[in-house]
Structure formats: C-alpha cells, structure tokens
Amino acid sequence: MTTAAPNAVPAPPPGCPFDAEFLPPNLRKHVDPAAPVPLRMMAAKSLVPLSPSDMVGALYMLTFDPDANVRETAAKTAAGLPDRILGSALRDEEVQPQVLGFLLGLVKGNEAYAEMLVLNASTPDDAVADVAKDCSPKLAEIIGQNQLRLLRHEDILRNLCANASAPVSLVDNVCDFAVRSGLTLMDVPQMKAARVRVFGPEAAEAPPPQGPTAEEVLQEFQEAADESAAPMEEGKRLTLAQRVMRMSIAEKIKLATLGNKEARTALIRETNKLVAVAVIRSPRITDGEVLSCAANRAMMDDVLRVIYSNREWTKNHKVKMALVKNPKVPLTVTMKFLNSFRDAELKDLSRDKNVPAAVQGFAKKLHEKKTAPKKQG
C-alpha cells in the first residue's frame, strides 16, 4: 500500500465537508481513510495528543470514516468527552462550524454545553434553530438575545415562537424587534400580533412597505451575487447604494450573507451594528476586505472586535499591522500584537506620527528592550 508524503493533506472521508489541514501534519494520518484502521481507531478513542479544538474536529471527521466501528467509536467518544476538553472546544470560534453544529446535536440535553454552543458565533444558525424548538426557558432567553441570528435565520424565530417553554414576554419582545427590523413571517401568529402592536390594526395582514428585499436587489443587480463578477461601473454602484439605503435591517442582513463584495462594500458603511457585523461575519468575506476593514479608522468597534478576536485573520501580519495602527483598537490588544513584531517594525512604529501616541510609546520601549546589549554574566 502506498502512503502519502508525511506533510500531505489526505483526502477527507466521503461526505466530510473539510479535510485535515487544521491538524498538525504528523497527526493527519489518524483521520486518513487510507491509513490502517488501528491508527484511525486511536483518534476515535481520543488516544492521540491533540488540542481540544483539534480533537473535536478529528472526531467529527471520523464519524464519516469508511469503517463502521471507527464511526461509532468516534461518535461515542465525542459525546463523552470530559469537561476540560469539551468546555474549551465549545467556546472556540475557530472550530469548524459543521463540528459545532454536530456537537450541539450531541450535547443539547446538557444545559451548560448547549449554552456555550449557542453563544459561540460560529455555531451554524440551523443548529441553533433546531435547539430553539424545545429548549429550556433559560436557553430560549439566550437565543432570543442574539438579534443578528434572529434576523439572519428566520427559522430561529419561528421555532422560538413554537416552543411551549419560551416565556411569552420573551416571544413578544423578540417579535416586536423582528417586526421593527422588517421581518414579516406571515405564517407565525405571534408576528401578526406584533405587527398590530407596532404598526396598528391595519398592519395585521401585511406590514407597511419597507423598501426592496435582498432578493429583489440581487435580481436587479445580478452581478452583486457573483463573487467573480467584474467591478460595477460607478453609476450602477451608486444606484445599488441608494437601493441599500431603502432596505429594512432584516433585508440588509440577508444581502450581507447572499451578496458579493460590491454588496458588502455598500453595507459595511451602515451605522447599524447588526448589519456591519453581518458583513464581516459573512462566509464569503475575503482576506482583502478584512484587511481593508482593519485599516479603516472609521470602522465600527463591533466589526474591529470580530477581526482582532479571530485567530485565523490575525495570523496575517498585514492585518495585525493595520489593527496596531488603528486608534479604535484597544491598547491591550495592540500590545499583544506588538510583542510579535520585528525590531525594524517596532522602530518604524515608534517614529510613525500616524500611529496613536500610546502605541508609539510602547513600540519604542519594546524596541529598546529588544535591542539593548545583554549584560555579561
């Protein structure tokens, strides 16, 4: 049997949505369908030295393994992982969304674990919607507080409204917010009641006009849905921006998820933080857009927080440099990044008048410390 090169990324098992690139190269063999079963079984039993986040990713991959025993063992191990491993992995936003959704299905009966996953911004909306159907009042409250999820994925609201355990006051508040934000959901009785509360009896069957929908905008500007489309001409871009201004909050969030870079560029300037955060959290966002947002001194704090909290994005040195130079990024975050900068970069930053004074000062101290001659013992 031929074996792959030690650092090669093996093909994932059939049906698995990602490969083993996230694992240390020397341990990828443990999820490789072409590797001997005993090697895969070691990982399925969590006998391989992995971080909590990598371990849950490996176990998820092994639930697609060609060998039934490996699949069953991996699923059983995942459901029974100790608190110190699960507690760490469930909070980690860098874990693959499919893994978090899988884990939520496994542990939703455990209130503490389910809460961690519902609070994790990377947990898929459809997994949260599934839990919203019959979760406890406490978990329903937590789900109802995530306004971005509610507007981005309508089934979360539908299922909360159908949940007999969800407090009536919570459902009313959530529906009022959704109606004000432009959601309709004609099939949900509680939303009809909310329209009456917010707009009056005449809005019972249909809300007042609230501008174009995301679907209408994408139909009018078909290139706004295609990431490979050529840049829009200036006149058309201006017309798109005008359409976006007339959209409801809910429709803007849908467009942030479905649209391309042109649409996201029009939306990232929004003053509503839910819309701006929906843009930066779009699964289609590019590294170039992230860098541009990181360098933008007028960017909303909430967007910058998403960027500097993302370990994958801050591996990019250009993104780190842009964040360090942005006066809206907290100094505690900047100081952490500066510790990884080279001497020459620290020297340049200490003299850069466009950098916040506190960053200049800290860069100067770091540079002096790194370049000071060491005392002879």
112-168 pLDDT, tens digit each: 999 999 999 999 999 999 999 999 999 999 999 999 999 999 999 999 999 999 999
Q: Which region among 32-46, 156-170, 353-367 has the lowest average model confidence (pLDDT)?
A: 353-367
For residues 345-363, average pLDDT: 90
pLDDT category of residue 99 using cuts at 50, 70 and 90: very high
pLDDT tier at 370, thresholds 50, 70, 90: confident
CA atoms within 13 A on the CB side of 309: 14
Closest CA to 175 of 212, 217, 128, 207: 207
Query: Distance between CA atoms of 129 and 158, rounded to whole angstroms?
Result: 8
Q: How far apart are CA 83 and CA 100, in angstroms?
A: 16
Return d(Cα 48, Cα 42) in angstroms, integer: 6
What CA–CA distance (Å, rounded) separates 151 from 77? 35
- pLDDT at position 6: 53
Total count of residues recorded for the chain: 377
Q: Look up residue 321 and give its two tokens.
A: 């440099």
Q: In 3-state terms, what secondary structure has residue 260?
A: coil
Task: Note the helical H segments in 133-260.
Answer: 137-145, 147-152, 154-162, 168-180, 189-199, 214-220, 234-246, 249-258
Listed in sequence order, the residues at least 6 apart from 221 whose beta carbon sits closer than 8 Å to its beta carbon are 232, 236, 239, 240, 243, 262, 263
**Cβ contacts of residue 7 below 8 Å, gap of 6+?**
25
- Top pLDDT among 369 and 4 is at 369
**pLDDT grade, residue 39 (50/70/90)?**
very high
Name which of 61-65, 97-101, 160-164, 213-217 the model is least confident about: 213-217
Q: What is the pLDDT of residue 231?
A: 87
Which residue type occupies 190? Q
Whole-angstrom Cα distance, residue 302 to residue 293?
Answer: 11
Rounded-to-integer distance, Cα 349 and Cα 360, Å = 6
Burial class (CB in 10 A: 0-12, 13-18, 19+), 349: buried
Task: With beta carbons less than 8 A apart as the criterion, state whether 124 and 130 touch.
Answer: no
Confidence check: pLDDT of 276 > 90: yes
- The share of the chain scoring above pLDDT 90, in percent, equals 79
Mean pLDDT of the chain: 92
**What is the pLDDT confidence band of residue 205, given thresholds at 50, 70 and 90?**
confident
- Residue 180 sits at the vertex; the CA angle it makes with 179 and 184, to the nearest 5 degrees, is 25
Determine what percent of the chain falls in helix, strand and coil, rounding each to the nearest 5. 65, 0, 35
Q: Report, as an integer, the average pLDDT of 360-371.
A: 87
Give the rounded distance of the alpha carbon of 59 from its chain centre: 21
**pTM exceeding the 0.95 threshold for the entire prediction:** no
Task: Output DSSP code: residue 65.
Answer: -
Q: How many CB atoms lie within 10 A of CB 301?
A: 12
For residues 258 and 280, what is the distance between their CA atoms, to the nearest angstrom?
13
